Amino acid sequence: MRSLAQSKRLLLAVTVLVLALVAAQCGGVATEEPAPQQADTQEETQPVEQEPAAETEPEAEAAAAETDDDDQKIVKEVVEESQAAQATQFEGGITVESDEDVSTLRSNRGGEYRDISSSDAVSFHVYQTTDTGSSGYQSLVYTGGLHRLDENTLEYIPNMAESYSISEDGLTFLFNLRQDMKWSDGTPLTAHDFKWTYDQVMKPENGYPYLSQFDFVTSYEALDDYTLEIKIDEVYAPALGQIDFITPLPKHVWEQYPWNDPEDNPEINSPSVVSGPYKLAEWKRDQFAIFEANENYWYHGAPNFNRYSIEIVPDNDIGYQKMKAGETDTGPITPENLEEARQLDNVTVYEWWPAAARWAYVGLNMREGYPTHDINVRHGLNYALDKELLTDEVMLGQAKRLCSAYPETSWVYNPDVPCYAYDPDKAQEAFAEAGYTLEGDKLVDENGEQLKLTLLYGPNTSQTLELMAVTIQDYLADIGIELEIQALEWASFLETKNTGEWDMYLGLWRATIEPHAMFLIWSEEGIPDLNSIAYVNEEVEGLFEEAGKTYDTEVRKEKYQEVQRILAEEAPYIFLFYQKSWSGQSNRIQGIEPTTLGIGWNQEDWYVQEPLE
C-alpha cells in the first residue's frame, strides 16, 4: 500500500487536512444534521443525503480502538433487538399508551446556544429537500413524529400521539393525538393539519422525492380533531416505522399559498407559524440564521435556550478556532486537532458509533453514453482505488470499510460480497474487457482517445473531500485515466448532481435503522433526487418488495443480503466506509446525555451553565 507522501498533490492535501470539514453535531428533535449540526435523535423514515461534513477522528492508541470495537458491538446488539431494526408481526389489538407528562415545563431557561457551519440550508420546505443541511433547519422549527424511538432501547414510544393502536390484522393504525398541542400562533395543532399535509405530499405534481416509498398507505384520514386513522391493504413489515412520515404543516397558513413556489409562498424560506422548539427570527443566507424559543412548543414547553444562532463561516478552521476561543458552543475538530480538543479546558468531545450509520461512496453514472455505464469500467475503477487507504489514512482510523449497502452494525449485514481490494492489474484487465488499452501513460479506447472522467463533490469548503478527490485523481492517473474534479458549493452540488451530466461524485448517506427504508436510493422511481446515478435493476426492486411483505426476519435478512450481493457485483457505487460520529461541545452547555442515538435526542433540555461574559 502506498503512502500519501508518495504524491506531491497528496502532501499538499494532507497539509490542508487541518482545515477538514468536520461536523460538530449538536442536538435536535427529529434529525441529525450538520448545519445546524444536529445529532442522531431518532430513526429516519427515509435515507437522508448527508452533507459530507461529519468527518471523524483517529484513535491515538490500540486500547482506544478496542473500546471502539466494544462500543460498536453494543450498538449492534441494541439495534438488532429493537423494533426499529427488526419489524415483527403485530399482536392482535395491540395498544401502546404514553404515561409521559409532557406539560412539565423546563426549569433551566435562559441563554443562547451558538452554533456554526461552513454551509447553509437550501430551504425550510420539508417536502422539497433531501439534504441534511435543510432538514437541520427544518427540525428546529417543525416537529414531527407520532411516535419516536426510545433513546436507550430504540423501541417505538408515543410522541405527538399520546397512544397508538394496531388492529388484529395489522392493517389499521389509530393514533390519538395529544390535545394540548399548538402552533406558534396559538392555533390548535390537530389531525386535520396532518391530513391536509398528507394530501399535498401525495400529489405527484408536488414532487415529493420520497413519494413512492409510501405507496403502501391506502388511506390516511382524520376521524376527528385528534384521531388519525391510517390503513394499509397488505402485510408490510416496516409499516409501523415508515407509516409515521408526515411532519404537519399549518393548514390555516399554507393553504393560501402555492406548494412549490418560494416567490409566492413566503413560508418556504421564512416560516412564520411553526410547531418546533424554535421560531425563525432572521435568516441571511450564507451569513447566519437566528432562532428564538417557541413558547407554545408542545413538548415540555419552550426549550431551555432562549436563542439558537448559527453562524456561517468561510471554512472549518475558523469554526474550530472560534470554539477553541469560546466564541461558539460547538465547532469542527479535524483529526489533527482531536488530541488538542480533548485537552481544552472549555470543551468536551463526545464520540459514538451511531445506530443509523453514515456511509461514504463514489456514485457512478449508470446512464447510457457514459463510460461508467459499462460494468467493466465500474469494476476497473473499484480495483484502481485503494479504499483501505481512504478509510485508514484519510479518515485516520475513525471509519470502517464498507463493501455494500449495509454496514456491520446492521442486522442484515452480508460479509460475503465482493470488496475489490486494491489491484491495478485487475483494474487493467477489467478496462481491457471494456475495450481500453494502456498506451504509454494513457488509457485509450479503440479510437486512441484517452478515457477522461469528471468527479463532483460538495461542499467545496471541505478539505477532507478535497483530499479524497485528489487521492482518487492520483490513483486513476496511475492507470492512465484523466480525472477532472469539480468542487461546488452545497446547493450547486445537489442541483448539478441531479442533472446526471457527470461521471462520478463523492457522496455520503445517513442511513436508516430499518433496512427496507433505503430502497429508494436503488429504485427507478427515486431518479434523480435520491437515485442520482440512475441505477435500474428489477431484481433488486423485487427483492425489496418481497422482504417488505413478510415478518419472517430470516427471510427478510436473506432478501436484503441478496440485494447487497447484487449491488456489490454490479458496483453502481464504489463503497468506501462507514464512520464514527463525534461532537465538540462547550463546557458551558450542560444536560448532554450520550446514548445509542447520539447526543442530540434531548437537545431541548440542554442548558447554559453560566451566562456569557
Please check whether residue 328 is in contact with residue 322, taking contact to mean a CB–CB distance below 8 angstroms: yes
3-state secondary structure of 283: strand
- In whole angstroms, give the CA distance from residue 254 to residue 266: 10
Among 157, 149, 151, 81, residue whose Cα is nearest residue 553: 81
Assess whether pLDDT exceeds 80 at residue 15: no
Cβ burial 157-185 (10 Å sphere, 16+ → b, else e)? bbbbbbebebeeebbebbbbbbeebbbbe
Assess whether pLDDT exceeds 50 at residue 14: no
CA 457, 458, 463, 464 torsion-angle sign: negative
**pLDDT (mean) for 539-544:** 97
Please check whether residue 271 is in contact with residue 124, taking contact to mean a CB–CB distance below 8 angstroms: yes
The CA–CA distances, whole Å, from 55 to 410, 472, 508 equal 21, 18, 11
Q: 124 vs 490, which has greater pLDDT?
A: 124
What are the residue ranges spanned by the domains of the chain?
Answer: 356-579
Q: Which fold has domain 356-579?
A: Dipeptide-binding Protein; domain 3 (3.10.105)
Long-range contacts of 338-341 (CB under 8 A, 24+ apart): 338/57, 338/58, 339/60, 341/584
β 452-457/504-510 pair status: parallel
pTM of full prediction above 0.75: yes
- The confidence band for 358, taking pLDDT boundaries of 50, 70 and 90, is confident
CB atoms within 10 A of CB 468: 23
Mean pLDDT is lowest, of 11-25, 183-197, 598-612, for 11-25
Q: Residue 356: what pLDDT?
A: 80
Q: Residue 68: what pLDDT?
A: 58
Assess whether pLDDT exceeds 60 at residue 53: no
- The confidence band for 267, taking pLDDT boundaries of 50, 70 and 90, is very high
Please check whether residue 149 is in contact with residue 42, taking contact to mean a CB–CB distance below 8 angstroms: yes
**pLDDT (mean) for 589-611:** 90
Please check whether residue 292 is in contact with residue 301, taking contact to mean a CB–CB distance below 8 angstroms: no
User: Letter for the amino acid at 482?
Assistant: E
Start-end of H helices in 186-229? 191-201
List the strands of the sheet with 307-312, edge to edge: 112-117, 307-312, 288-293, 278-284
Assess whether pLDDT exceeds 80 at residue 64: no
Q: 49 vs 57, which has greater pLDDT?
A: 49
- In whole angstroms, give the CA distance from residue 600 to residue 29: 7
The pLDDT tens digits of the residues spanning 292-335 come to: 999 999 999 999 999 999 999 988 889 999 999 999 999 988 76
**pLDDT (mean) for 142-156:** 91
**pLDDT (mean) for 164-180:** 95
Q: Residue with C-alpha cell 417536502?
A: 127
The pLDDT tens digits of the residues spanning 33-43 come to: 222 233 332 33
Q: Which three cell numbers stand for residue 386?
A: 485503494
**pLDDT (mean) for 243-264:** 96
- The confidence band for 17, taking pLDDT boundaries of 50, 70 and 90, is very low
Assess whether pLDDT exceeds 80 at residue 569: yes
Q: Residue 7: what pLDDT?
A: 34
